[in-house]
Amino acid sequence: MNKNVNIKSIIIDKPLKLDCGQTINNFPLAYETYGALNEKKDNAILVFHALTGDQFVSGINPITKKDGWWSYAVGPNKAIDTNKYFIICANVIGGCLGSFGPSNTNSETNKVYGTTFPIITINDMVNAQNNLLDFFQIEKLFAVMGGSMGGMQVLQFISNFPDRAKIAIPIACTSSHSAQNIAFNELGRQSIMADTNWINGDYANQNKTPDKGLSVARMAAHITYLSKNGLQEKFGRKLQERDDLKFGFDADFQIESYLRHQGSVFVDRFDANSYLYITRAMDYFDLTKEYGGNLSKAFEKTKTKFLVISFTSDWLYPTSENKEIVIALNAIGADVAFVEIESDKGHDSFLLDVPEFLNTLNDYINNSYLTI
């Protein structure tokens, strides 16, 4: 990871009691902003990133030199228009792009934390990020939004801070991580831990990196972000730069080569221990249980206007799980809209160029801004 890039961050001196019992303080929270905060400070949108995202939502990511993870949606004249709105996005704690995470050095031991870093939850992530509102002196955000783990943070944020956002847009997410999703995350973690370079998480102190394990974790996860139809249409049984099968274990098929590529570029930008910590946070997420089995109770105190969005081909966070959020909100008469967008791009739909999604998002945001 390139440490020379200028990463904005705040130091949070207020002690934060984590769900695991430990308290952290004086820790960094890295963030990026886009657009400008207006005088009334009523145009701020807090965007939450997903598992492998970061604070670089739009424009060119200074680390990867590629487009920011939500470039299709966020930017000048885009669905979330940076000419109108002030976008804030923080790297989650537990992450590896400047926020307090397992790749940080423990000042007491002078060693990289690795797996001595405390376990982080979605609740801890949003509690840390709430400090950004104080930093920017924003009383109330116009909106909070995010997809996948970002959507979970939206739900947790509103439940923790019912008065701090006018609208909330959780996309392709869930209120309670399913067994299937825990299973996929466990697969990824075991793959990392099976790499001999992981060394019980101490690899950074021994100048090693469990690249193979992390790469396989990414490959497996990547499949879950796509759909069967999407894969079939894009790759089918097409061969990779060869006319016939080679009767070996090279990447004969394009899909194999594609996944290997996804794995190999991922290890250049992501820390293996962060992958363990963040997937764990997702697995532990169960807002329904937090409220005694009644998800509606999580939102009883809020007047926030919700828009829940799911995608037809998303089998990781299927429409049925998104609808549970809608049902819980309707049960208490909350203001909730819901649409399921037709797309064959799977869970990744929210990150991609899906015009129906982007147009609906754009119009909803702009109309809500005018009427709220």
Partner 1 sequence: MKQEFKIISDFIEKNTRVLDVGCGDGTLMEYLKTNKEIDIRGIEISKSNSQKCVSKGLTVIEGDAEKDLTQFPDSSFDFVILSQTLQAFLNPEIVIQELLRVGKKAIVTVPNFGFWKVRLHLLIKGTMPITKNLPDEWYNTPNLHMCTIKDFYNFCHDRKIKLDKALALHNEKTSPINEINLNIKNLSAELGIFLIEK
Where do contacts with partner 1 occur on this chain (CB under 8 A)?
Answer: 305, 307, 326-327, 330-331, 333, 335-342, 356, 359-360, 363-364, 367-368, 370-371
Alpha helices in 130-271 (DSSP H): 131-135, 149-160, 179-193, 211-225, 228-234, 254-269
> Rg of the chain's alpha carbons, rounded to an integer?
20
Amino acid of residue 141: L
The whole-angstrom separation of Cα 360 and Cα 339 is 9
Nearest distance in Å: CB 363, partner 1: 3
Whether the Cβ atoms of residue 329 and residue 299 lie closer than 8 Å to each other: yes
Is 276 strand, coil or helix?
helix
For partner 1, the closer of residues 202 and 324 by Cβ is 324
Considering the complex, state which of residue 179 and residue 370 has its C-beta at the smaller distance from partner 1: 370
- Annotation marks residue 148 as catalytic: yes
Taking the complex as a whole, the smallest distance from the CB of residue 337 to partner 1 amounts, in Å, to 5
Cα–Cα dist 134/164, whole Å: 11
Report in angstroms how near the CB of residue 232 gets to partner 1 at its nearest.
23
Cβ 103 vs Cβ 271: under 8 Å: yes
For residues 5 and 207, what is the distance between their CA atoms, to the nearest angstrom? 21
CB-CB contact of 49 with 74 (8 Å): no
Which is catalytic among the residues 9, 58, 103, 148? 148
Which residue, 143 or 259, has its beta carbon nearer to partner 1?
143
> Residue 53: which of 115, 15, 8, 97 has the closest Cα?
97
Number of CB atoms found within 10 A of residue 45's CB: 26
What is the closest distance, in whole angstroms, from the C-beta atom of residue 144 to partner 1 in the complex? 17
Task: Select which of 195, 313, 347, 349 is catalytic.
Answer: 347
Nearer to partner 1, 22 or 294 (CB): 294
Nearer to partner 1, 221 or 354 (CB): 354
In whole angstroms, give the CA distance from residue 204 to residue 104: 10
Cα separation, 59 vs 54, whole angstroms: 13
| Distance between CA atoms of residues 51 and 278, nearest Å | 6
| Residue 347: active-site member | yes
For residues 100 and 24, is the Cβ–Cβ distance under 8 A?
yes
Of 17, 45, 21, give the one whose Cα is nearest residue 127.
Answer: 17
- Asked if 335 is an active-site residue, the reply is no
CB 309 within 8 A of CB 350: yes
The C-alpha atoms of residue 158 and residue 136 are separated, in whole angstroms, by 19
**Catalytic-role residue among 283, 314, 344, 348:** 314
Q: What is the DSSP code (8-state) at residue 249?
A: S
Min dist CB 209 to partner 1, Å, is 45
Q: Which CB atom, from 45 or from 276, has the smaller least distance to partner 1?
A: 45
* Rounded least distance, CB 321 to partner 1, Å: 15
Nearer to partner 1, 207 or 320 (CB): 320
CB of 364 to partner 1, least distance (A): 5
Annotated catalytic sites, by residue? 148, 314, 347
